[in-house]
Amino acid sequence: MEFFCGLDVATEETAVCVVDNHSEVHLTVKVATEPDALFAVLKPFVTRLRRVGLEAGSLSPWLHPELLKLGLPATCLETVHVRTAMSAQRNKTDEKDTLGIAYIMRTGGFRAAHVKTESCYRMRLLLTHRRNLKRRFLDLENAVRHSLKSFGIKLGGISRSKFDQAVREAAADDPFIAELMDAMLTARAALWKEDCRLRWWRRASCAAASWRSPASGL
């Protein structure tokens, strides 16, 4: 007898369902979303466990490789394909979702999602956070420009390095505006500092990757 498992992963708990090759349910349980906890409940089936399926999600880049390291035959599934396969299901619950995934694993009617390497996710996270910092930085600059226009102060085309000084000089005669601008410029400076920090990490990461590439001759 062979076994097939479906996992419905959530942040705190994961619903687990194990069926055999005759569609008989052998296990339905919820455990903590931790690789060791999942392995513990699947251990009685592990020698005859043929497939373990989980939908692609925010935790799958971490959970999927960890399950593989423990020797579980885990497959990350394309979410759209899984949802389409279970679209006729009524009264959706975690238990029904995980049973549906288990049946999909039994029939083999699934589409595996590509799981990027940890280094790829690290680089993407770096780029995403730098983009977020840069966006907030530009939002602050634009907010400063627009607020000064309300008092007839037009900054015009100013280089980034001279922006702070230009704003302080323009607001110097009004204590209230000067105080507001000081708060905004202090926040802007902090964002710029951290943006430069992440920019350095990006360049360092790209340089390290080029040194490791076969084309570098090393």
* pLDDT classification of 84: cutoffs 50, 70, 90: confident
| Residue 5 near residue 102, CB atoms below 8 Å | yes
Token pair for 127: 């780029």
Token pair for 68: 């593989």
Token pair for 22: 């005759």
Mean pLDDT of the chain: 87
**Interval 102-148: pLDDT, tens:** 999 998 888 888 887 777 888 888 888 899 999 999 999 999 999 99
Which residues in 158-188 are b (16+ Cβ under 10 Å) and which e? Answer: eeeeebbeebeebbeeeeebeeebeebbeeb
**Strand 3-9 and strand 13-20: pairing?**
antiparallel
pTM to 2 decimal places: 0.68
> Has residue 113 been placed in a domain?
no
Length of the chain: 218
Domain-terminating residue out of 88, 107, 126: 107
> What is the residue range of 47's domain?
3-107
* pLDDT classification of 67: cutoffs 50, 70, 90: very high
**Nearest one of 24, 2, 23, 5 to 14, comparing CA atoms:** 5
* Number of domains into which the chain is organized: 2
More confident residue, 81 or 4: 4
DSSP summary character for residue 48: G
Same domain, 128 and 78: no
Same domain, 89 and 130: no
Task: Kindly state the percentage of the chain with pLDDT values over 70.
Answer: 90
> Has residue 112 been placed in a domain?
no
Same domain, 47 and 85: yes
Same domain, 123 and 188: yes
Same domain, 10 and 79: yes
Same domain, 35 and 100: yes
Side-chain half-sphere CA neighbours of 23 within 13 A: 5
Side-chain half-sphere CA neighbours of 196 within 13 A: 6
Domain CATH number, residue 85? 3.30.420.40
Same domain, 150 and 81: no
pLDDT at 216 over 80: no
Same domain, 134 and 199: yes
Same domain, 72 and 41: yes
* pLDDT classification of 39: cutoffs 50, 70, 90: very high
> Has residue 101 been placed in a domain?
yes
pLDDT value of position 90: 63
Same domain, 143 and 79: no
